[in-house]
């Protein structure tokens, strides 16, 4: 991690600590105590199917590149590095590509399939966010926040339409740029030709998009269960808005390692719309961080296992 990233990480952690102190650590701890270890176990186990589903979504984009289990393992590693280690989300993406290559995929194919999967994942987020904005507009009818939300709604729809209309040109432009980068990164390669369009075919992209869309809405269920286990009564619609807009605000801090502080601020701001105290919003965010840690640590162990397995295979096949 570069020095600037260390500084950014320290500032983010300090901001998180300041936010927690301002909200009241006693209230934060009380809310977490209500959740308890049993509730935390439920929250953690509830998220495991999401890891598997997102791995299978990635496999839908890169069928034939590697076995489905390799994609699930790579997605587990990718999320673990992005959430547990002090790297930005980009570090998680790179580690996911590495893990998939250890599972038998060519490095270029692993990278391109992950790119297609990222497009499907973020594309599926759009209907989820649109649903949340429409729900929030209905809940806050007549509120001064409605007009900014309408503007955001128009921008999101306009952006999605433009991407759809010019998708062929965008894919061609990326293919050319990626080919030039591959020639620099891969020694001895003079003519690297990429077929990115193949990863965006209807047969691969539609299942990928659909699985991610279901996973996003499943996140609203996770949020509802978590709040309920903490003794905070919210409706399913409120849980959808908090999860959707909270994760969207978190994405703004993609360059901050683990989005430290950014995630907490996002959940606090959105939760306030429904009368949820800042301390409770922070407790919710910390519960999700603890969940990611509980799932991520075994994911890092899995990554090291894959690296060790590949090293042993290389040692056996390489003559002395």
């990278």: which residue's tokens? 111
Nearest CA to 249 among 258, 236, 262? 262
- CA pair distance 98, 101, nearest whole angstrom: 5
Q: What domain range includes position 142?
A: 3-317
Q: Measure CA 69 to chain center.
A: 19
Evaluate whether 291 touches 43 at the Cβ level (below 8 Å): yes
To the nearest 10°, report the CA torsion of 303, 306, 311, 317. Answer: -160
Computed over its alpha carbons, how large is the radius of gyration of the chain?
Answer: 21
Residues 239 and 224: beta-carbon distance below 8 Å: yes
Surface-to-core class of residue 246, CB atoms within 10 Å of its CB (0-12 exposed, 13-18 middle, 19+ buried) = buried
- The first and second tokens of residue 208, run together, are 């990928």
* Count of structural domains, the chain: 1
d(CA 156, CA 88): 25
Contact residues for 261 (Cβ-Cβ < 8 A; gap 6+): 11, 12, 13, 14, 15, 16, 19, 253
Convert the pLDDT of each residue in 241-293 to its tens digit: 999 988 887 777 666 666 666 777 788 888 888 888 888 888 999 999 999 99
pLDDT score, position 11: 55
10 Å CB burial of residue 162 (0-12, 13-18, 19+) is exposed
Instruction: Sort 182 into a burial class: Cβ within 10 Å, 0-12 / 13-18 / 19+.
Output: middle
pLDDT of residue 69: 93
Q: Which of 286, 223, 241, 193 is nearest to 46 (CA)?
A: 223
CA dist 108 and 66 (Å) reads: 13
Which tokens sit at 244?
Answer: 């959707």
Predicted confidence at residue 269, as pLDDT, reads: 82
Q: CA–CA distance from 292 to each of 125, 295, 296 (Å)?
A: 20, 5, 6
CA–CA separation, 315 and 204 (whole Å): 36
Please tell me the predicted confidence (pLDDT) of residue 251.
74
Q: Count H helices, E strands: the chain?
A: 11, 0
* pTM score: 0.82
Write down the pLDDT at residue 152: 67
Distances in whole angstroms, Cα of residue 264 to Cα of each of 12, 159, 259, 288: 10, 27, 9, 10
Residue 140 per-residue DSSP state: T
Q: Is 63 helix (H, G, I), strand (E, B) or coil?
A: strand
Output the tens digit of pLDDT for each of the chain's 320 residues.
Answer: 455 554 555 555 555 555 555 556 777 888 889 999 999 999 999 999 999 999 999 999 888 788 999 999 999 999 999 888 766 677 788 899 899 999 888 887 888 888 888 888 988 888 898 888 888 888 877 665 666 666 766 776 676 677 666 666 766 666 666 666 555 555 544 444 556 666 677 778 889 999 999 999 999 999 999 999 999 999 999 999 999 988 887 777 666 666 666 777 788 888 888 888 888 888 999 999 999 999 999 999 999 998 888 877 765 555 55
Locus of tokens 């893990």: 99
């Amino acid at each position: 991690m570069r020095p600037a990233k260390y500084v950014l990480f320290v500032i983010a952690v300090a901001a998180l600590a300041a936010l927690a102190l301002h909200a009241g650590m006693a209230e934060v701890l009380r809310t977490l105590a209500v959740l308890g270890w049993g509730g935390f176990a439920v929250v953690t186990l509830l998220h495991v199917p999401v890891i598997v589903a997102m791995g299978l979504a990635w496999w839908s984009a890169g069928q034939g590149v590697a076995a489905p289990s390799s994609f699930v393992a790579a997605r587990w590693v990718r999320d673990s590095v992005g959430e547990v280690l002090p790297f930005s989300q980009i570090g998680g993406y790179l580690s996911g590509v590495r893990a998939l290559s250890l599972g038998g995929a060519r490095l270029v194919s692993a990278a391109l399939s992950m790119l297609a999967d990222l497009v499907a994942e973020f594309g599926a987020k759009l209907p989820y966010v649109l649903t949340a904005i429409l729900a929030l507009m209905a809940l806050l009818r007549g509120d001064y926040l409605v007009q900014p939300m309408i503007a955001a709604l128009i921008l999101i729809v306009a952006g999605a339409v433009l991407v759809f209309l010019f998708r062929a040109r965008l894919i061609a432009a990326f293919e050319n740029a990626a080919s030039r980068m591959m020639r620099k990164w891969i020694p001895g390669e003079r003519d690297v030709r990429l077929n990115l369009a193949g990863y965006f075919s209807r047969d691969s992209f539609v299942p990928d998009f659909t699985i991610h869309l279901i996973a996003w809405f499943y996140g609203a269920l996770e949020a509802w269960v978590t709040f309920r286990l903490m003794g905070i009564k919210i409706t399913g619609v409120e849980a959808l808005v908090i999860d959707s807009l909270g994760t969207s605000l978190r994405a703004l801090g993609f360059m901050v390692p683990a989005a430290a502080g950014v995630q907490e601020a996002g959940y606090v701001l959105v939760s306030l719309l429904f009368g949820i105290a800042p301390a409770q919003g922070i407790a919710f965010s910390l519960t999700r961080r603890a969940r990611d840690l509980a799932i991520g640590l075994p994911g890092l162990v899995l990554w090291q296992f894959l690296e060790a397995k590949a090293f042993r295979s290389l040692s056996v096949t390489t003559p002395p």
